[in-house]
Amino acid sequence: MHNSPTYRYHIAALFSVIVWGATFVSTKVLIAHGLTPAEIFLIRFAMAYLCILPLARGRLWSDTLRDEAMLLAAGICGGSFYFLTENMALEFAPASNVSLIVCTAPLWTALAMSLVDRRERMSRRAAIGSLLAFAGMVLVVLNGRFVLRLSPRGDLLAFAAAWLWVFYSMAVKRLAGRYPALFITRKVFFYGLLTILPVFAFRPFAVTTEMLARPAVWGNLLFLGLVASMLCYLLWNAAMRRLGAVRTTNYIYLNPLVTMLTAALFINERITPVALLGAALILYGMWRAERSQ
C-alpha cells in the first residue's frame, strides 16, 4: 500500500472514521446485552490480534528497546487506556460533553506535531479549515441542544482520552518510517490486550457462551473485532505513514457526523437543522484544509 496514490490513503482514513463512528451503536447494543466496556474491548482486540497474526509473521520485536517502549505506549494510548478513559467519562458526564471533548484530538494533534516536526505544521488556510470543521463538529454534537453541563470528573477523563489519541498518533507517526503498518498494528493490539488484563482483577470477565450465542452479540463483536479494529487500525496506521498525523487525524471531525447518521437510522435519534449546518461546516472545513496541503 506504500506505493499507492495518495488518494487511496484518504479513502482509508475516511473509511476508518466512518466505521468508528458506527461503533457507537454496536457498543450500545452489546452493553444492553450485559457486556461491560472492558469485556467488549478485550474480545474485539483479541479477535483482531488473532486475525492479523498470520499476516504479520516474521519480525517479533522492534530494533531497539526504545522503539519497543514506544509500541507499548501506542498500545496503551490507542488501545486499553483510551477506551477505558472514554467509557469511564460517559459514566460521569453527558455523552455530548464526552463526544465534544474527545473530538478535539485533531486540534491538539496539530498543536503538538507543529512543536516537534516542522513538516507537520499547518498553513494558515489549513488552520482556518480545521477550525471551521471543529465548529461544525460542535454543532453536530450539540444537535440543537445548546447546553453543556460541567462534570469535572467526566470532562477530565474525556480530555485525557483526547490526549491519549494525540500521543498514539505521535508514536505511530514516529515509528511508521521504520516499520511496516502490519507490524505496528499487531504490536498495538498485543500491548492493548496485555494492559487491559489488570482491569479484570477488580471485575472478573463474565461473558457467557449463552451471551455469545445471541446473533446481536456475535454479529456486533465480529464487526468491532474484524472491521473496526483489525482492518481500520491497519488502514489508519498506513494513512498516518503516508499523509502525516495532522492530515489523517483531521478526519476524526467526521466521527460525530457518522454517529449522528447511524443513530438516526438505527435508534431513531432526531437530526436538527443545526446539526445539518454543522455537517456542512465539517465537510467544507475539511475540504478547505486538505486543498491547502
Q: Which three cell numbers stand for residue 90?
A: 460517559
pLDDT of amino acid 136:
73
Q: Which are the contacts of 155, defined by CB distance < 8 A and separation ≥ 6?
A: 89, 93, 97, 101
Per-residue confidence of the chain (293 residues) as pLDDT tens digits? Answer: 544 568 889 899 989 988 887 777 788 788 889 898 899 999 999 999 999 988 877 777 888 999 999 999 999 999 999 988 888 877 776 665 666 677 778 777 877 777 766 665 666 666 676 677 677 767 766 655 555 555 677 778 888 988 999 899 889 888 988 888 899 999 999 999 999 999 999 889 999 999 999 999 999 999 999 999 999 999 998 898 888 877 788 788 777 677 667 666 665 666 667 767 777 776 666 666 555 55
Q: What are the C-alpha distances in Å from 287 to residues 15, 17, 62, 130?
A: 16, 16, 37, 9
pLDDT of amino acid 150:
55
pLDDT of amino acid 254:
75
What residues does each domain of the chain span?
Answer: 6-291
If you count them, how many residues does the chain have? 293
Alpha carbon distance 17, 247 (integer Å): 13
